[in-house]
Structure 1
Amino acid sequence: MRILFLSQFFSSTRGGGEHLFYVIVKKLAENNHQVWVITNKIEDENYPVNKNIQIVFVPPVLKYQGGLPPSIKDNVQYFINALREGKKIIGKNDIDVIHSNNFTPAFVGGILSFLTSRVHITSVWDIFTLCGCDYWKKWVSQTGVSKINQFIGPVFEKWVLKTKCHAFHTISNASNNDLVKFGAKKPIYIIPPSIEEIQKMKTIQNDKQFIYVGRLVFYKNVEILIKAINIVKKQEKQIKLIIVGGGPQLKKIKDMVKKLHLEDNITIKGYVSSEEKIKLISQSNAMLFPSVCEGFGLVILEAFSQNKPVIVSNIPPMSDTINHNETGFVLNSNDENAWAEYILRLTRNPHDSKQMGIKGNKVLKEKYNQKKFYQNIINMYESML
């Protein structure tokens, strides 16, 4: 099979959706499918080398900024250049399927599908407009975010559902329900995600250390963790929280840590290598993931790979992925006292943490393994041809 992928960000290390696209491409190539990827080059990114993968870089070169979208100018440049290159690739290589990521790549895919009569599938993993009536207002209040996003964001989300495509690909029942609620009329394929196979690292666990991995944007709700650590510190002075990631909320988070005098308890690592990230997860008691809006949360699976439980918000799909008191805990996203209580509980009962982590690893291997994921992707493509 020959598949053309369209994605502005294509990364093996950063982002959730971006990384999942990378996993799809890699698995297809490993199984001798021919894959083309039209993307913007990201500064300091390493790209896969495989005889079955051809990456076509189009202007402009982008800098990853913790989940901030490209500017309007960058989007227009990608649209024009990707459309031109896509027509060439389809014409020369008899492409079977066009698979696009959300927003501008979806529009490119829709036009290419119209011009070439190729099957077009669009991946949509979040409908941000449904994350609360003030989502876009909060989004543009962050450092470095253009105010125009408050107006064009919801419009773009609606347009994506109306662009020419034959099916939508999503990753959870929650995101499926959002697509239907938002007006999607085409078939929707729900395919549980997977991650690259990660060996469990042999490290010594620090029972008093916890970790957050993700973008530093408002809906990740990292502030609730800082408040919780401030409460825990009163009973457990050696409590530690490692924050891995970057984004527009970085200064706000740093200021909050300083204001609460938590510099000895909270370490902000910023971006780290994949190896360093997994090492930090393996050294921690558990992962904390308090997001209030999410398509899935791939870092949950990374925690499971290291036999670590995850404490999540009581919001689907996280609350569907974590079985309370079995593979982690499901808590009120805005209750710092509850988060503090369960952090303390795991600190004082590390054996419980290890047992839940083992159960999480079993879930990863049984439900989210790469073999199932790859076969579901292939089944989706074949059903549309």
Structure 2
Amino acid sequence: MDLFKRTLDAADRIVVVDQEAYEMYADLVDESKLRTIPLGVDPDVFEYSEPDDSHELVAIGSLRERKGYDILIEALDQIQQEYPEVQLHVFGDGPQEDELVAQVKHLDLDENVTFHGYVDQSIVREHLSRARAFVHPSRSEGFSMVRLEAMSTGCPVVVTNVSGANEMVRDGEEGFVVPTEEPEPIADAVTTLLSDYELTKQISRQARDRVEEKYDWRKIAEEYLDLYRSLSG
């Protein structure tokens, strides 16, 4: 910790990605050193399209406990009772795969869940472009690029309230922010979207607008250039 503090003291500027990180570092260094610049996404790569009136859900990430897929599968068990045709597409691999497959079988959700493994990003983008929602049930997370990528495509997001979540996704505007470890709020948010296509389209557009306003990588690059120029002056 002592070395870390000396490193911070020696820095001319310290860049943090969100307000939560800013507040943490503000306890360690003078706030005049701090600058908040989020990470960004390329909206030309993750192109916007209005979501289909589908019952498809997408989840992306490594299959490990921290990502909360077991909670998502419990939520899906509730969702399919109201929407038996719901389809969850899971992209990623990892050490929890066998356990999650067994959970799906135990809950008799084989017809509702597809584990795609690791695939090319173009396939993921194709699924995001037509999905009703992107669901990200992580128990913990840093700055989540995959949430931004989903928002950029216009896919409404249902995300857990981990670090920086409420700053990226305003609950009820670009998607829904739900507690960690609880399947019922995930199920409620997803069924809200499935039951209201007009709301889905509204949130889709607002998600894309949020990316263009705050997380376009070109604007982020300009902020870094401004920062470097201020240091060299």
Residues 1:180 and 1:204: Cα distance change in structure 2 (over 3 Å): closer
Structure 2 residue corresponding to 1:219, chosen from 46, 49, 66? 66
Correspondence for 2:199:
352
Tell me, in whole angstroms, the C-alpha distance in 2 between the residues paired with 1:179 and 1:270.
Answer: 37
Tell me, in whole angstroms, the C-alpha distance in 1 between the residues paired with 2:109 and 2:95.
Answer: 20
Tell me, in whole angstroms, the C-alpha distance in 2 between the residues paired with 1:199 and 1:285.
Answer: 16
Higher relative contact order (CA 8 A, sep 6+): 2
**Tell me, which stretches of 5 or more residues in structure 2 are unaligned?**
none
Paired AA for residue 270 in structure 1: G
Correspondence for 1:174:
20
Tell me, in whole angstroms, the C-alpha distance in 1 between the residues paired with 2:207 and 2:65.
Answer: 27
Query: Which protein has the larger Cα radius of gyration, Structure 1 or Structure 2?
Result: 1
Structure 1 residue corresponding to 2:105, chosen from 255, 258, 264? 258
Superposed, 1:237-248 pairs within 5 Å as 237-248=84-95
SS in 1 for 2:98: helix
- RMSD of the alignment, in Å? 2.5
CA contact (8 A) 1:289 1:313 kept: yes
What whole-Å deviation, never above 9, does each CA across 1:74-115 have from its counterpart, x for those lacking one?
xxxxxxxxxxxxxxxxxxxxxxxxxxxxxxxxxxxxxxxxxx
SS in 1 for 2:24: helix
Percent of paired sites with the same residue: 24
Tell me, in whole angstroms, the C-alpha distance in 2 between the residues paired with 1:324 and 1:204.
Answer: 19
Residues 1:178 and 1:270: Cα distance change in structure 2 (over 3 Å): farther
Asked if 1:299 is matched to 2:146, the reply is yes
CA contact (8 A) 1:172 1:295 kept: no
SS in 1 for 2:82: coil
Paired AA for residue 237 in structure 1: P
Correspondence for 1:113:
none
SS in 1 for 2:186: helix
CA contact (8 A) 1:210 1:284 kept: yes
Structure 2 residue corresponding to 1:368, chosen from 194, 197, 215? 215
**Tell me, which stretches of 5 or more residues in structure 1 are unaligned?**
1-154
- Cα deviation for residue 296 of structure 1 reads 2.2
Paired AA for residue 227 in structure 1: E
Asked if 1:309 is matched to 2:161, the reply is no
- Cα deviation for residue 274 of structure 1 reads 1.6
Tell me, in whole angstroms, the C-alpha distance in 2 between the residues paired with 1:368 and 1:382.
Answer: 21
SS in 2 for 1:367: helix
CA contact (8 A) 1:171 1:295 kept: no
Tell me how many residue pairs correspond in the alignment.
228
Superposed, 1:1-385 pairs within 5 Å as 162-163=6-7, 166=11, 167-180=13-26, 183=28, 187-196=33-42, 197-198=44-45, 200=47, 205=52, 207-385=54-232
Tell me, in whole angstroms, the C-alpha distance in 1 between the residues paired with 2:208 and 2:61.
Answer: 20
After alignment, is 259-268 or 197-206 more displaced? Answer: 197-206
State the TM-score, normalizing by the size of structure 1.
0.54
Paired AA for residue 157 in structure 2: V
Tell me, in whole angstroms, the C-alpha distance in 1 between the residues paired with 2:30 and 2:100.
Answer: 40
CA contact (8 A) 1:198 1:305 kept: no
SS in 1 for 2:81: coil
- Cα deviation for residue 323 of structure 1 reads 1.6
- Cα deviation for residue 266 of structure 1 reads 1.2
State the TM-score, normalizing by the size of structure 2.
0.85
CA contact (8 A) 2:50 2:205 kept: no
Tell me, in whole angstroms, the C-alpha distance in 1 between the residues paired with 2:25 and 2:139.
Answer: 18
CA contact (8 A) 1:285 1:347 kept: yes
- Cα deviation for residue 210 of structure 1 reads 0.8
After alignment, is 191-200 or 337-346 more displaced? Answer: 191-200
Tell me, in whole angstroms, the C-alpha distance in 1 between the residues paired with 2:120 and 2:129.
Answer: 14
Tell me, in whole angstroms, the C-alpha distance in 2 between the residues paired with 1:180 and 1:249.
Answer: 37
- Cα deviation for residue 349 of structure 1 reads 1.1
Tell me, in whole angstroms, the C-alpha distance in 2 between the residues paired with 1:264 and 1:220.
Answer: 22
Tell me, in whole angstroms, the C-alpha distance in 1 between the residues paired with 2:45 and 2:34.
Answer: 29
- Cα deviation for residue 228 of structure 1 reads 0.2
- Cα deviation for residue 203 of structure 1 reads 8.6
Tell me, in whole angstroms, the C-alpha distance in 2 between the residues paired with 1:274 and 1:261.
Answer: 29
Correspondence for 1:135:
none
